[in-house]
Structure 1
Amino acid sequence: MGILDLFNSKPAPARFATMMTVAARRRGETQPIRFDAEAFSLTIGTDDTRVLYLHNVYTDYCQAGKGERAKVIDVCLAAASQPPKPATFAQCRQSLLPILRRRAMSEVLRLTQLADNDSEHNARAMLPFSEDAVLMLGYDTEHAVEPLAASDLKAWGVSAEECLAAALDNLRDRSVCNFDEALPGVFLSAWNDTYDSSRLLFPDIVHQLNLGADPVMMMPTRSRLIASSANNIAGMLAMVDLAQRCADQEGRQVSALMYRSDS
């Protein structure tokens, strides 16, 4: 342990990977664990199906207070040790939710899988959404959201559209309008359940803010949906500044674009 670690400074990525490995061993993990510095990930086991990408947990750890850092690691490892998904669509249906993700992330994952000759097994089930974001399907559990793979849908015998319809129904049930006015004419989502950005799929919720006939939205991170009016220039400028601050501080960026509803 270096002197900087004694003062809880930001650990180097390789050091953090070692900390995660030690914590996994303490939780009882007995499989081989391999650190990939370039991908900043841990591969657990020998079949390369359990890959733990460390970017987000590393950001959370560095931002957490001294008393919360161990919990950040524990929550991440609990999510990584989730049991397998149920075998049928009917069993998973009530736990499906739509997730919007950064297109760059999905492209990196796709290219990594192609390099590993594993594109068929782990390719994510996704639909195009915008220039810098994709629409995916998540299986929601107590500790994590697991994106569905194309192989999951194939095994269930359902289409991405059918799964998406179920996912939208599930999110709609937990989406009563919930915004705070962060700045004059600028509203910030307050669900705080990691699906805030996904409510962009429900423009009628934003219309309930009475922004006028031309509301605009941004989803800078997974946990933030920001709304203002295209007729409010000052509001839109403030909206962009707020989106940038959210992206810088929180990580888990989704989109840098501003969206307008066609409805």
Structure 2
Amino acid sequence: MGWFDYFFRPPSKDKFARLMLAEIAKSKLEGPLTYDAGQFLLLRKDGGFINLANVYQEYCQVSRGERAAIMQRFIRGSLASKTFELPEDFEDVHPDLLPVIRSRFQIEAVRLQARLKGSDKVNIPQQLIGDHLALSLVYDLPHAMRSIGQQDLDDWNVTFYEAVEAARHNLEQMNNISVASLDDRVFATATGDNYDASRLLLVDVIRTFPVRGLPVAIVPNRDTLLVAGQDDHEGLQLLATLAEEAYQKPRPISGVMLTLVDDEWQSWLPEPSSPAYNRLHELKLRSIGGEYNDQKDLLEQLHSARGEDVFVSSFSGVQDSQTGNTSSYCIWPRDVPTLLPETEQVYFMGGDPKQPQLLAQAPWDRVQQVVGHLLQAQDCYPPRYLVSDFPSEKELSKLGKTS
């Protein structure tokens, strides 16, 4: 690293938080805040918090000359929403209501962080899009954006469905969608207004794209929607390249592919024989694995605060040295209450805790068939299952005993 890079490289998380606190104090949009270094949050006195992860990532990826603008935009957009009240009548809100597509874990993480602070007040209604995405609503003004909660809908006496239809109509009427075609195989929206991912909802527009086979799509970040066709192997490889790059940019959403069936988006992957399968499968695992790891950190903090002795098993990945294929696995230990993630393989471990022994291994579907009665589904996303007992010797044999 040269001296220029050393002096002008992005700040550490702690230094960034100090910079943010100083700028917020100047803005006078917030009262006194406390920095929680462990969770990378700014804590409000009322129990609320400000997550710095996304803005920090965006700040680090732009040039030095653009960083101040990133910070000021975040302060105006995220913090200024605290200074205005929503209109009392839905008719006044209607024109500025828009849909946002997020990873399901984004709001789940907010809920877990609130529970760590002793609050269960987070109630933001969502509509699932496939298995891993969700639609929610925002009130969008030029310099501020506020999420719409269930209490807001109750105050307006409207249902979530009615509000979604209004927001979808507003998105359709924006009429500024910018679509680029790459080799007439991949279609990318890059309008740059923070709502490109939301245009996944415009299925009538997407059906006009001349793709080969049923449309498939991915929303790697909030400013990118990529669409190709199920039957286009070259197009899927090109899409994989673009998605891998876009997922590394600020405001990532998901690395999971979807396909359009009738009017509904469903999670999808090409057949393993497809040249694009390995890359799209690995991107999916990277996306879901990142969510599981963040969830694990929050759950461990929550268990520690409550004095609960529960092992939170990791979502791990392994690559076959011969084929290059990546797969996911988790550990189910003997005699330890465990929260299992949903992985492609499960390893059953026993023996001396210091030198554990692999007793059996099986794919997830087989685990459900043989010992599904031991899995207690939890109310969370990504899904986890509490296991308090270990399979019997007979069940281990059915699963695939190794010794």
**TM over 0.5, shorter chain:** yes
Matches within 5 A, 1:124-203: 124-175=124-175, 178-203=178-203
Relative to 1, partners in 2 of residues 1:129 and 1:178: Cα closer, same or farther, differing over 3 Å?
A: same
Q: CA deviation at 1:175?
A: 4.1
In structure 2, relative to structure 1, the CA distance for the partners of 1:171 and 1:88 (3 Å cut) is same
Q: Tell me by how many angstroms 1:254 deviates.
A: 1.8
What is the CA distance between 1:63 and its match in structure 2?
1.2
Q: Is the 8 A contact 1:101 1:135 kept in 2?
A: yes
- Answering whether residue 25 of structure 2 is matched by residue 25 of structure 1, we say yes
Q: What code does the residue aligned with 1:75 have?
A: R
Alpha-carbon distance between aligned partners in 1 of 2:36 and 2:88, rounded to the nearest angstrom = 31
The Cα offsets for residues 145-181 of structure 1, whole Å up to 9 and x where unpaired, read as 3221122112222211111010011001014653112
**Is 2:242 the counterpart of 1:242?**
yes
Which amino acid in structure 2 is aligned with residue 47 of structure 1? D
The CA deviation at 1:86 is: 2.0
For structure 1, list consecutive stretches of 5 or more residues without a partner in the other structure: none
Q: Bigger relative contact order, structure 1 or 2, given CA contacts below 8 A and separation 6+?
A: 1
Alignment of 1:49-68 (within 5 A): 49=48, 51-68=49-66
Deviation at 1:104, TM superposition (A): 1.6
Evaluate the alpha carbon distance shift between residue 71 and residue 90 of structure 1 in structure 2; reply closer, same or farther with a 3 A threshold: same
Cα 1:144/1:245, change in 2 over 3 Å: farther
- Residue segments in structure 2 that go unaligned for 5+ positions in a row: 263-403
Name the SS for the 1:172 alignment partner: helix
The residue aligned with 2:329 is none
CA-based RMSD: 2.1
1:81 correspondence with 2:80: yes
CA offset digits 1:75-106 (Å, max 9, x no partner) = 11112123232233222111111111111212
Partner residue in 2 for 1:251? 250
SS at match of 2:8: coil
Q: CA deviation at 1:72?
A: 0.9
Q: Are the aligned partners of 2:96 and 2:141 in contact in 1 as well (CA < 8 Å)?
A: yes
4+ residue runs of structure 1 moved beyond 4 angstroms? Answer: 3-6
Larger Rg: 2
Matched to 1:159, the amino acid is: T
Q: Which residue of 2 aligns with 1:47?
A: 46
Worse-superposed segment, 221-230 or 21-30? 21-30
Report percent identity of matched pairs. Answer: 27
Taking structure 1 as reference, are residues 242 and 108 closer, same or farther at Cα in structure 2, changes over 3 Å only? same
8 A Cα contact 1:177 1:205, kept in partner: no
In the alignment of these two chains, the number of paired residues is 257
Task: Report the TM-score when normalising by structure 1.
Answer: 0.89
Residues 99/193 of structure 1: CA separation in 2 closer, same or farther (3 Å cut): same
